[in-house]
Structure 1
Amino acid sequence: MTWDATRALAEQLDRGLSAPGAIDAARFASFLEVQKELGLVHGARALCRHLRPYLIAEQDYAAVGRAAERIAAALERVARRALTDAGLAEELGLSADERALAAVDPGGGPFLTVGRLDMMVTEGGFQFIELNADSPAGITDQLLVEQTLMELPHMAPLRGRAGLRTPAPHRGLIRALLEGYAAWGGRAPRPTIAIVDWATVDTSAEFKVLSALLSADGHRTRILDPDELEYDGARLSAGGEAIDLVYRRVITQELIERRGVDHPLVRAYRDRAAYVANSLRTKPLNKKAAFAVLSDPAFSGLFSPEQRAAIAAHIPWTRRVRPGRTAWKGREVDLVELILGEQESFVLKPNDEYGGKGVLLGWQTPPDAWREAVRGVGEQLAIVQERSRSRTARMPTFRDGIVQEEVYFDLCPFVFAGRMEGAMVRLSASAVSNVSAGGGVTGLLIVDDARMSREDTRHV
């Protein structure tokens, strides 16, 4: 990998920050305020506080894309098999209700319309540690960073420069939604679209941005709480207006727990009265135990040679936590004793949570609390995952002047109907970098050093 190939460009941007008048307290405050106006927020908090996008070499971006697409395809194989294999469904920790819902065939369209892999950049490579296949957020971050961070004075030398490009995950989403709708059998040339989630969620600003983009493309688009939906046995609607396509952001588990399996959205989905993306059969993909299936050699027959190679290179050792023997670094060990004895080598995660909830980092957890968590896993399914030693990055921010801050970062690729486009870049002072746990974001800038050098030579 060539993760350091972009260092010279990063240093150039940082020098620009030190120029007189580049960034002062007033301009930084305005930068944050514009984010709030545009919707680059979590709740009321502006998300981008660092003053440089994450730079990635073109060849590294391509390598991440190949691996992400293969891992997503491998996880889809796991989910599809779990629909008919009770043993695999049990391995994933699917409840009877979840199995029944996943078994409903929604018709055509991709199995997974949009997913986001959480990825850590390590020394010499990268590893995928989770997949959000239910309600991935952050798809409009890149667009909004380009309208805020990229407009600051110190970024001016990059605008229009050959050899630099930014991805467009929002376009990847819209394309996947409309292609999925057509494959499902949708006939409306401009389907009416509902973005559905609870009215109180902290990510509601993102829905407004997406709604504006879809409306600009000619689609009647509404942002709806699940309680606003109605189904009469023939059409899904809200306030008397029919809905053709649902971009489902409400989390399946929360919808079923709060409103039950007879909610209008679920009934319309069962009857194929509206196209719903993501479908309600992605739950197996969202279980963290799916990574234990990828990691365990006992399941290797599920995957193609290319997928097995990607798993070996980019999936950390992962197991469901339960009594028994397992293989670890070429030897057979008792799993619980291993987790207790090698605490600093592992991360504990609930099988079915999100936003970093319940995650315990062995190297940061008091031994007594770690033992209690491991011994208490029987009450809630959990996985143990080998620690991925993430690289950190020095990123400029403003605190009474420009300072360089050492931050953890995740590069989280989006996969739309099997194709990668862009990534959410999360930054945090903590090793758990989820935005809902207090982390921030920045943009992604893809750098083709060879093309930049050719263009620079032409202008000498």
Structure 2
Amino acid sequence: MSAAARITRQYLAGLPAGCAPERSCENSPLAGDIYGSAFLTRPVFLGRGESNALGARLSALYDLLLTLPDRLHDGDLRAFATALGWTPEQISAALRADGRPRRLPRSARADLYRSQDGFRLLELNGGSPLGGWDISLLNRALLQEPYIASFVDEHRLESTDGIAVLTTLWRESFPSFDSATRPVVALLEWPGSYPVMETHLRRMATLLAAHGVEAVPCHLGQLEYCADGVHVGRRRIDLVHRWFVINDVATAEDAALLAPLSEAADRDLVSLFTPLENEVYGSKAALALLSDDRHRSLFDRAELDVIDGLLPWTRLVRDEKVEAAGEHVDLLRYALAHRDDLVLKASSSHSGLDVLAGWQTSADAWAAAVRAAVDGPVILQRRVRPVPEDFPAPGGGPPVPAVLTWGVFLAGHGYGGAYLRGTTALDSGVISSGAGGRLGTVFLAEDG
């Protein structure tokens, strides 16, 4: 029995009547304000050894993604971005004109299901605009419940502080960044998204202050570019943490708005965590290229083991022959015939948006969606069936099964914490907050 299964069984066996940790989360001054009122009814557990092994596997897969421009396009990053479906405006905004790659911080969040065969990757979001950095607020709120506090102490469980992980990434990525000097960080959004995100960014600023960082929520239109660096109001910015995404760049005007920041970062006038270039490797289309059987000869046996061990069958939607289930088939016919086993996803979407589960879609609607996706930035991915876990029923009663999406952070070369979204709708195509998913968090247990 795994450490996670053992600890979960012990937790449920000792659970007292009336223990409702989700209420502690709802009533937390910070957690409730940020995450609302939909929380899992218990913490989730993971063995430390399993977390380390998962972090190492994700790091190895991320390394392979970083090599794709060299393996597929002789190092031409622009050709690689074009193959992913990026527009000329996005390529102009994100990549250097001379095609030279930037040094990219190792920051990503993998969304996974735990299946009968172990963790399987649904997507890998690269860069800095990642939800969940502040998830340790839930760990703190859960510890307000006496049973959980005593259980965590008895079993020597630990949690990961995502804000501490983030500031460590900043220091490792930029040696000049020193929290001892109280640096100023811009939490930078796109102008159109800023009104929606402002409250969240201000909460992030509150959490960062405890780590010696002065954080300024702002949007791209508020930056000023001076001879000595980048400013917001009268404050010179040491580091910019980017919250907007490549899909925010839709026009030449958008690209022009971003250009001065990219130029300032390239001239070392400000540290940029992370450049939009990072999102090249966080595209679902990049996973499709990694999964494509036509590229298997480019990888050695150990590399193929990494790919096959994490990544389900994933293909760009094209009118062509592909390998599927050991056969050479017409992709479109295969997609129509295997609707119950496939998911259609936009390659640059996030938060469960633009995802169509075949088993929840009529045959006619599925066929229309597949045909409309041909040659677009859209992927087909084989369905992963998550193994349910038991959770206390809200308000008491026997435990009920729920399935989880694990959002696991890759920080540098290892595990950087996790946050969860769960639902009792076991055949759900998407587990997201917008689709009624409940949020949760992880405590790590010693193995053995």
Q: 1:42 to 1:127 in 2, by over 3 A?
A: same
d(CA) in 1 for partners of 2:70, 2:207: 32
Assess if the C-alpha contact under 8 Å between 1:114 and 1:136 holds in 2: no
2:437 is aligned to 439
2:87 is aligned to 95
Match of 1:262 among 223, 244, 256: 256
1:269 Cα deviation (Å)?
A: 3.2
1:42 Cα deviation (Å)?
A: 5.2
Q: Secondary structure at the residue paired with 2:295?
A: helix
Match of 2:162 among 136, 159, 169: 169
Q: 1:417 to 1:58 in 2, by over 3 A?
A: closer
1:154 is aligned to 147
> Is 1:71 matched with 2:66?
no
1:51 is aligned to 41
Give per-residue Cα distances to partners, 1:247-284, cap 9 Å, x unaligned.
11122331565961222534433543211111121121
Letter in 1 for 2:30: L
Q: Which moves more between the two structures, 192-201 or 282-291?
A: 192-201
2:391 is aligned to 395
Give per-residue Cα distances to partners, 1:375-423, cap 9 Å, x unaligned.
1113742110111111122212424x35533222011210123332111
d(CA) in 2 for partners of 1:85, 1:270: 17
Give per-residue Cα distances to partners, 1:279-336, cap 9 Å, x unaligned.
1211211221111111113333555654321101111111110101111122211111
Q: 1:413 to 1:99 in 2, by over 3 A?
A: same
Aligned-residue sequence identity (percent) comes to 25
Assess if the C-alpha contact under 8 Å between 2:51 and 2:415 holds in 1: no
Q: Which moves more between the two structures, 128-137 or 371-380?
A: 371-380
Give per-residue Cα distances to partners, 1:169-201, cap 9 Å, x unaligned.
32221101122122xx66894431111124323
2:108 is aligned to 115
d(CA) in 2 for partners of 1:444, 1:152: 15
Gaps of 5+ in 2: none
1:138 Cα deviation (Å)?
A: 0.7
Assess if the C-alpha contact under 8 Å between 1:79 and 1:282 holds in 2: no
1:106 Cα deviation (Å)?
A: 12
Assess if the C-alpha contact under 8 Å between 2:24 and 2:144 holds in 1: no
2:420 is aligned to 425
1:29 Cα deviation (Å)?
A: 4.6
d(CA) in 2 for partners of 1:262, 1:178: 29
Q: Secondary structure at the residue paired with 2:303?
A: helix
> Is 1:191 matched with 2:191?
no
Q: Secondary structure at the residue paired with 1:326?
A: strand
Give per-residue Cα distances to partners, 1:197-234, cap 9 Å, x unaligned.
243235843x3443234322322221223232222354
Q: Which moves more between the two structures, 312-321 or 294-303?
A: 294-303
Q: Secondary structure at the residue paired with 1:272?
A: coil
2:117 is aligned to 124
1:161 Cα deviation (Å)?
A: 2.9
Match of 1:250 among 233, 241, 244: 244
Assess if the C-alpha contact under 8 Å between 2:45 and 2:444 holds in 1: yes
Assess if the C-alpha contact under 8 Å between 1:356 and 1:432 holds in 2: yes
TM-score normalised per structure 2: 0.87
- Give the 5 Å matches for 1:56-455: 56-78=46-68, 84=76, 87-104=79-96, 111-134=104-127, 135-141=129-135, 143-182=136-175, 189-197=181-189, 198-201=193-196, 204-205=199-200, 207-232=201-226, 234-254=228-248, 257=251, 260-263=254-257, 264-300=260-296, 303=299, 305-378=301-374, 380-399=376-395, 401-402=396-397, 404-428=399-423, 429=425, 430-450=428-448
Q: Secondary structure at the residue paired with 1:223?
A: strand
Q: 1:202 to 1:247 in 2, by over 3 A?
A: closer
Letter in 2 for 1:360: L
Letter in 2 for 1:181: F
Assess if the C-alpha contact under 8 Å between 2:205 and 2:215 holds in 1: yes
Q: Secondary structure at the residue paired with 1:337?
A: helix
Assess if the C-alpha contact under 8 Å between 1:163 and 1:449 holds in 2: no
d(CA) in 2 for partners of 1:446, 1:129: 23
Q: Which moves more between the two structures, 328-337 or 233-242?
A: 233-242
Gaps of 5+ in 1: 451-460
Letter in 2 for 1:130: E
Q: Secondary structure at the residue paired with 2:374?
A: helix
Q: 1:63 to 1:237 in 2, by over 3 A?
A: same
Assess if the C-alpha contact under 8 Å between 1:181 and 1:245 holds in 2: no
d(CA) in 1 for partners of 2:434, 2:102: 30
Give per-residue Cα distances to partners, 1:67-115, cap 9 Å, x unaligned.
1111111122225766615553333222223333343299998514421
1:370 Cα deviation (Å)?
A: 0.2
What is the Cα-based RMSD across aligned positions, in Å?
2.9
1:454 is aligned to none
1:455 is aligned to none
Q: 1:147 to 1:259 in 2, by over 3 A?
A: farther
Assess if the C-alpha contact under 8 Å between 2:360 and 2:429 holds in 1: no
